[in-house]
Amino acid sequence: MSGVRQSFVTGKNTVDVARELLGCILVFTDFLSGKVRCSGRIVETEAYLADDPASHSFNGPTKRNEAMFLEAGFIYVYRIYGVHNCVNIVTGSAGSGEAVLLRALEPLSGMEYMWQNRFNIPCPENPPKEKVRRLASGPGNLCRAMGITVEGCNKTFLGGDGGADGTPHRTPESLQGGTPDSIGTEDCAGTPTHPPDRSLTPHSNPSGSFSISATPQNPGPLSLYKPEEGGSFNIVCGTRIGLAPGKGDKENLRFGIKNSPFLSRSFPNV
């Protein structure tokens, strides 16, 4: 497997990252023991851009969203409705305020761990297929199943076997299943072009300085891997979920693996 974090650091635009994350494997590792707890294949993402009225970064840095203004590869986790955590991978250059929201995963390993987290009961020997499908479907469910929280993951750096210096950071003990490596693209007319990067200059940092709990040299509990072999899949796109009218609700910035049963919501006309 090859790490994909380097591609974020070297400046790929956010829309491309949102597409390329599909099929990659997200791994959650216990930060103290170093034990891999669970992993899943990313099947759905949403891109949030600079000068995007739907983005948390639209009005500049705050204490809540400051992770979005760090360099690419940092993790931004926020809580909605006081209950559900949502995880994003920061993209673009430092200060641009761009990120990709992870909306859904196909569970690969650590089923017992994920099941207990998600449903608060032990995983049965033969879990119902519909519950497996919904285990990490939707950003809140994804975080709950994997154990991703604001306290444990926000402002940590993404690990993987290919960091900014090219040195492996950690390799999971085992990752089940392959990932498609031949990607086709469905008709995604209407996907906006990537706007220019926005620097921090127009906005003051309200907290004085960013409080970083992990660094590129000392990554946090989340790692990302791109298997080198697998099948193939097509990418589909559509509008993002849950946005207010006139707040970016018309842009085709949600991406998914076509016909994946693990999507949080189907794509129109697919």
Q: Model pTM?
A: 0.81
What is the pLDDT, as a whole number, of residue 160?
75
CA–CA distance, 54 with 50 (Å, rounded to integer): 10
SS3 content of the chain, % helix, strand, coil (to 5): 15, 25, 55
User: Mean pLDDT across the chain, nearest whole number?
Assistant: 79
What is the pLDDT, as a whole number, of residue 216?
59
CA–CA distance, 251 with 56 (Å, rounded to integer): 16
Q: Which residues lie across from 77 on neighbouring strands?
A: 87
What is the pLDDT, as a whole number, of residue 244?
87
CA dihedral over 226, 231, 232, 237, signed as positive or negative: negative
The more confidently predicted of residues 138 and 218 is 138
Helix (H) or strand (E) holding 185: strand 182-185
- 237 close to 15: Cβ distance less than 8 angstroms: no
Model pLDDT for residues 32-68, shown as the tens digit of each residue: 888 999 999 999 999 999 889 888 888 888 888 999 9
CA–CA distance, 248 with 48 (Å, rounded to integer): 9
Does residue 73 sit in helix, strand or coil?
Answer: coil
Place of tokens 């994909």: 4
CA–CA distance, 19 with 237 (Å, rounded to integer): 9
CA–CA distance, 2 with 223 (Å, rounded to integer): 11
Percentage of the chain modeled with pLDDT above 90: 53
Q: What number is the average pLDDT over the span 183-206?
A: 38
- 142 close to 104: Cβ distance less than 8 angstroms: yes
The more confidently predicted of residues 170 and 112 is 112
Q: Which residues lie across from 105 on neighbouring strands?
A: 42
Nearest to 102 by CA among 149, 145, 138: 138
What is the pLDDT, as a whole number, of residue 148?
95
What is the pLDDT, as a whole number, of residue 161?
52
Where are the domains positioned within the chain?
2-257
Residue 270 has pLDDT above 80, yes or no: no
Q: What number is the average pLDDT over the span 191-217?
A: 37
What is the pLDDT, as a whole number, of residue 3?
52
What is the pLDDT, as a whole number, of residue 265?
95
Nearest to 220 by CA among 175, 146, 170, 173: 170
Q: Which residues lie across from 157 on neighbouring strands?
A: 74
Model pLDDT for residues 141-189, shown as the tens digit of each residue: 999 999 999 999 989 999 875 333 333 334 344 444 443 333 444 445 4
Query: What DSSP line would sit under 28-47, residue for residue?
Result: EE-TTT--EEEEEEEEEEEE
219 Rama class: left (phi>0) / alpha (psi -120 to 50) / beta: beta
Place of tokens 């200059």: 201
Residue 135 has pLDDT above 50, yes or no: yes
Residue 228 has pLDDT above 50, yes or no: yes
Model pLDDT for residues 68-81, shown as the tens digit of each residue: 999 999 999 999 88
Q: Which residues lie across from 47 on neighbouring strands?
A: 100
CA–CA distance, 72 with 95 (Å, rounded to integer): 10
Q: CATH classification of 2-257 is 3.40.120.10, yes or no?
A: no
CA dihedral over 181, 178, 227, 264, signed as positive or negative: positive
Helix (H) or strand (E) holding 254: strand 254-257
What is the DSSP pairing of strand 222-226 with strand 2-3?
Answer: antiparallel
